[in-house]
Amino acid sequence: MRVPFRHPARLLLATLLMAGCQSTGATAPVTAGATAPAATAATVQPVAQQQPASFPEWLAALRTEALSQGIRPQTFDRAFQRVKLSERVVELDSAQPEFTRQVWQYLDSAVNEKRVQDGRQKLQEQAALLSRITRRTGVPGEILVAFWGVESDFGKSTGNFSVIDALTTLAFEGRRAAYFRSELLAALRILDSGDIAPERMTGSWAGAMGQTQFMPTVFLRNAVDEDNDGHRDIWGSMPDVLASTAKFVLANGWRPGESWGQEVQLPDGFPYDQAELSITKPLSEWRRLGVRPLDGGELGGEGTASVLVLAGHRGPAFLVRDNFRAIMRYNPSTSYSLAVAMLADRMTGKPGVRGSWPREEQALSKDERIDLQQRLASLGMEPGTADGIVGANTRNAVRRFQASVGEIPDGFATKSLLERLRQRS
């Protein structure tokens, strides 16, 4: 389904665009590119702006704001010379997937055998560069190459949208207009610095750029001119791509010399209410609770960690440390972080996930997740708001229900569990 703009008539939209372009000395607009992966997380949360009545007014206000921040008029005018609002970007921003993938489905795609082999080849090709960056930052080369692989399949899928078109559309029409306005102004600062020309500034529909998909504000904080050519080029310069990624990962809390974690075995009677990323314990406490390496023996090391069971007691268990959280700050998803960690391990000859996944379990749709939450609430299990998001409150409610019917309380929300709840109605 096509998502309309606030100005639904195509002729009116074209007229407004041309009027907006004329206000900055521009010519005819051009078409935005094809779809691309979603953006990674960024942290700036600007104050919401008043929405003007028309695009020309909005563009004029943006120009005034940009120039007040020191962006040169010629930079702004060149960037918006051929700007085009993209209905496809609005569609992608408005789309809410009905189903989510299970973690094993995501890993099957992100850490497939071809990507592992390609990653090993990239490690060899970039060995000298990676060694230099690792010595300086402490971020292992395989972690950097894993980000590169998961984010853009080693530069093959960086996105073909004009970043200016995409961010302009989202700042004018999107659900998070203030956030994307801030990103658009950051993109203009990048252009003003001369790091990249507007026609080369391409990325995802949400404005994530380059081979490891930085948002513009992330670029401004972390991009590095590693090859010393006077430009921070995360599109075409591998030294800049990898050094910039290392700086970002380090800024996100990477602890040099430590691992991300490991797959573990849990004892019978393990307290699954403790298996949450928000719950950290000293390794000595996990040892006391019977958490063991897969091959037996005792957990080594000191410090703190969390236990994750992303598919309940029938799936693999992971003991994750601070570096797992550092990966998540790049993209706040446990599936994403596990994919980066597993790809890095596989590229260096370590095994992937060894435990088996309950692959017969299908993902719940959003409506089914809401139904699950409502039924748990009706039983007094306190899942929180029925919003279709399975967070800690919902998992704890699932655990309470499982315990009430004599099941292992692992908090894994499944279709079969929903059916059991429906049978109680």
Catalytic site residue from 65, 113, 125, 151:
151
Structure tokens at 63: 């120009």
Q: How far apart are CA 141 and CA 344, in angstroms?
A: 9
Q: Is residue 151 flagged as an active site residue?
A: yes
CA distance 425 to 419: 10
Cβ 25 vs Cβ 75: under 8 Å = no
Is residue 238 a contact partner of residue 218, using CB atoms and an 8 Å limit? no
- Residue for token pair 């195509």: 10
**Rounded Cα–Cα distance for residues 102 and 335 (Å):** 9
User: What is the distance between the alpha carbons of residues 330 and 260, in angstroms, rounded to a whole number?
Assistant: 14
Q: Which residues touch 412 (CB under 8 Å, ≥6 apart)?
A: 309, 311, 312, 313, 315, 361, 395, 398
DSSP type of residue 214: B
The answer to whether 102 touches 339, Cβ cutoff 8 Å, is: no
List 265's β-bridge partners, or say none: 292
Hey, which residues are catalytic here?
151
